[in-house]
Amino acid sequence: MKSYALTKVSLCLFILILAGACNKSIQEGMGPIGKQGMVVTAHPEATNIGLSILRQGGNAVDAAVAVEFALAVCYPAAGNIAGGGFFVIRTSAKKVYTLDYREKAPLSATRDMYLGPDGQVVKGLSTQTILASGVPGTVDGMVKAHEKLGSLTWTAVIQPAIDLAKKGFPITRRQAADLNSIKKSILERNSWKPVFVKDSLWKEGDLLVQPELAATLERIRDQKRDGFYTGQTADYIVGQMQEYGGLITYKDLQDYQSAWREPIKGTYRNYEYFSIAPPSSGGVALKQLLGIISKFDIKSSGHNTVESIHYMVEAEKRVYADRAEYLGDPTFVSVPVEKLTDEKYLLKRASEIKPNKATPSDSVRAGSVGKSESLETTHFSIADRWGNAVSATTTLNGGYGNQIVVKGGGFFLNNEMDDFSSKPGTPNVYGLIGNEANAIEPGKRMLSCMTPTLVTKNGRLFMVVGSPGGSTIITSVFQTMLNVIDHGMTMQQAVTAKRFHHQWLPDLIQYEPSAIDTVSVSRLLGMGQHLKKIGNIGRVDAILIWPDGTMEGGADPRGDDTAKGF
């Protein structure tokens, strides 16, 4: 893959806009551009809805709320009203807000609820049953975000999702394959036949119509928060819990509140960035990674070279070990954010990295990492004409959550309880060790890797970025930022570029096909690194704002992701 210096691309873009001419290769390396707004999401229907809100004069928060509800309709694998996530918001007044609408453990949840009589974790209990569901946060989060920072009416931002659910939309090839692959489990886990199941196989272009979800969204339109956490929808949720043996009660729903938190912020190569604080580990881990890697000349080393990969994965080993040991819900545990991100501490961590020799993970200070979100998390990025921007990551955890659909409500439940440590001190299915800081407690938020991030330069918005992908979220955002800042890529090039990942345990560099050439693989093996080629890593959706204010969208080609601007 070619990369181009930012100054060269910016100059060529300026010529393109004013004179209608530009080097063909650079045009091909860029994503869609816009001057008034940009929306990048996991599904074209959601992107269109977000863009329509911006065209109506809505701001980035209005569009973000509309996209969140739209994804619940058109991207049910991860879009949701019964899951949770995080917003990072920058206003035109240059104020940054972060909103935590992460799910919580039900009040009747217990530390050992997923253990059998022998004290061992019961396989599937925290992922495939109704016991896997945490108390949803999405609807409360959307209401709070809109009430604080929205500009259009509540009806205006939710009605497009209602219309989409009523009229239906043609599913993509990927969605048809997904729905066919989960047909058996949906039928096994539900006592009725949801709209996501057909007698025949789904195929690309089939219309997915969701009348029950439309009615649920209408109740949220008319009653806001009370349309979900009380009344008929709450009856549906609690009734399902009682029928299937779940834990969420009316009190759990009524008590849920999302939380405004202070962002994690830092600087890298004269760029300032803002990300999410615990209970997500993303912002802290990203700050650690950028702090450590700033001690090395990644720009001179080059993109995905042996030297760059070595220094980056050595940093990742140390950061994921720290994540495991210290991070959790700050309401329940003391998280030493300042100490973990202190410049002297990060300099010490960097000094531990040997130039030509890998540090075995069992020699890195031990910690533990909670279970990661599946790849079916989703991220979207939005920027408007006034300088407002939203970086948002949301999830049900597994693809389609626990694949249990609320009867009468028409939406999937989450299986976020799996993000807790089911048994602290015992390796989970990923080979990661659970930790006391992330043990199950009533009302506690489970640890996350979500890393929605905003980047500024000289006080101006520069980048909106984030990704799904479980434990790979952090490293996907990390690499995308370096691709632009250090390697001079356009936004689309940075998003498309092949990725690699290390999470401390297992001691393994996982990499996409073509991310590392065979000669480099051989050299890394000789340095003591361990490597494994896997499938796609992450699904980054991002926006880059050029010096003249033009916005470039970068939609990840690994999915049905779409960027549109105007």
Rounded-to-integer distance, Cα 178 and Cα 173, Å:
9
Structure tokens at 373: 């979100």
Q: Is 162 helix (H, G, I), strand (E, B) or coil?
A: helix
AA identity, residue 432? L
Q: Which residue has the tokens 């816009």?
A: 34
For position 10, what pLDDT does the model report? 45
- 188-237 pLDDT, tens digit per residue, is 999 999 999 999 999 999 999 999 999 999 999 999 999 999 999 999 99
Within 8 A by CB and 6+ apart from 117, the residues are: none
- 520-546 pLDDT, tens digit per residue, is 999 999 999 999 999 999 999 999 999
Write the CA distances from 139 to 52, 213, 443, integer angstroms.
21, 13, 17
Specify whether 377 is catalytic.
yes
Within 8 A by CB and 6+ apart from 277, the residues are: 98, 100, 261, 262, 263, 264, 283, 284, 330, 337
Q: Report, in this order, helix, strand and coil percent for the chain, each rounded to 5.
A: 40, 15, 45
Greater pLDDT, 230 or 372: 230
Rounded-to-integer distance, Cα 507 and Cα 345, Å:
23
For position 349, what pLDDT does the model report? 95
For position 29, what pLDDT does the model report? 85
Q: What is the mean pLDDT of residues 357-374?
A: 65
For position 426, what pLDDT does the model report? 55
Are the CB atoms for 87 and 65 separated by under 8 Å?
no
- 293-329 pLDDT, tens digit per residue, is 999 999 999 999 999 999 999 999 999 999 988 999 9
For position 424, what pLDDT does the model report? 65
For position 4, what pLDDT does the model report? 38
Query: Where in the chain are the domains?
Result: 1-30, 261-373+449-558
For position 324, what pLDDT does the model report? 85
Write the CA distances from 427 to 368, 423, 506, integer angstroms.
9, 8, 11
Structure tokens at 293: 């890697």
Q: Picking from 93-97, 98-102, 505-509, 518-522, which range would have the lowest pLDDT averaged per residue?
A: 505-509
Rounded-to-integer distance, Cα 488 and Cα 248, Å:
49
Closest to 103 in 3D by CA, of 412, 396, 511: 396
Please pick, among 98, 129, 216, 377, the residue that the annotation labels catalytic. Answer: 377
Rounded-to-integer distance, Cα 256 and Cα 233, Å:
15
pTM of the model: 0.93
DSSP one-letter string for 389-411: EEEEEEE-SSTTTTS-B-TTT--
Rounded-to-integer distance, Cα 434 and Cα 427, Å:
6
Within 8 A by CB and 6+ apart from 501, the residues are: 316, 471, 472, 475, 476, 509, 510, 511, 537
Rounded-to-integer distance, Cα 122 and Cα 404, Å:
19
- 443-483 pLDDT, tens digit per residue, is 999 999 999 999 999 999 999 999 999 889 999 999 999 99
The DSSP element (H or E) to which 38 belongs, if any, is strand 37-41
Instruction: Look up the CATH superfamily of 261-373+449-558.
Output: Gamma-glutamyltranspeptidase, small (S) subunit (3.60.20.40)
Percent of the chain past pLDDT 90, that is, above it, reads: 87
Structure tokens at 90: 């920058």
Rounded-to-integer distance, Cα 302 and Cα 199, Å:
52
Write the CA distances from 526 to 152, 358, 529, integer angstroms.
59, 9, 7
